[in-house]
Structure 1
């Protein structure tokens, strides 16, 4: 399964998301670009699709290693998705992310809502078993 949905708000405000299955039992949303007020709605839609993935036993993760900026609107979309995943009894995993992405998570304490992984191999080592 692979779907790409660019958000055309000009070259500086383009967010690309792609839903993939890098391993059995793992569904990964790869996000590239800047997450700001203009692109956060597209991130929210992509996260809704991710969390709605069947089976509910699948590990759901977001790869943020291609994100250079995370505004509060993007953080809110991630938090909302974490709560939806939690209501299903599963964690939302976050992969990678620059300091510009991890710092807002840490400052707000919302990093505790996610299972964090340094890179995709760390996720797959853990996620492929469950």
Structure 2
């Protein structure tokens, strides 16, 4: 995964950095920082465009291993991304969630909406 050191200052201020990579035709979004109502736009802008009319949906893995906090804004954005990818005949997988982020995902049942994997490698291979 590409390292985006230009986002380090933003991460230190509690914001969110998004690094987008392509791995064998699968979009991998590497997130670092906090996902809340102020930063969730970075996540939504990082998602690839979806076109349900063409049915050429994107396959997306969101790497949450660098996320230290996620509120309902992040949960809602991930649910919306899941629905958008499915509508376009693609898929969304989550990877690397831990600590408070994993607890939040479990509390709201996000794991029942979209597949969650311990690592990006496992999400890519699933």
Is TM more than 0.5 here?
yes
Distance 1:44 1:65 in 2: 18
1:1-130 to 2 correspondence within 5 Å? Answer: 6=7, 11-22=12-23, 24-47=24-47, 50-52=48-50, 56=56, 58-126=58-126
TM-score, normalised relative to structure 2: 0.79
Given the superposition, is the C-alpha separation of residues 81 and 10 from structure 1 closer, same or farther in structure 2, using an over 3 Å criterion?
closer
- Counterparts of 2:10 and 2:91, CA distance in 1: 31
- For 2:11 and 2:118, how far apart are their aligned partners in 1? 30
Q: Number of paired residues?
A: 121
Say what the alpha-carbon RMSD is for the aligned residues. Answer: 2.8
- Normalising by the residue count of structure 1, what TM-score does the alignment of the two structures yield? 0.77
Runs of 4+ in 1 over 4 A off after TM superposition: none
Distance 1:10 1:63, change over 3 A: closer
Provide structure 1 residue ranges, at least 5 long, that are not aligned to the other structure: none
Deviation of 1:106 (Å): 1.5
**Can you give the 5+ residue segments of structure 2 that lack an aligned partner in the other structure?**
none
* 8 Å CA contact retained: 2:35, 2:67: yes
Q: Bigger CA drift: 62-71 or 95-104?
A: 95-104
Taking the aligned partners of 2:15 and 2:30, their CA distance within structure 1 comes to: 14
Q: Which SS does the other structure have where 1:85 is aligned?
A: helix
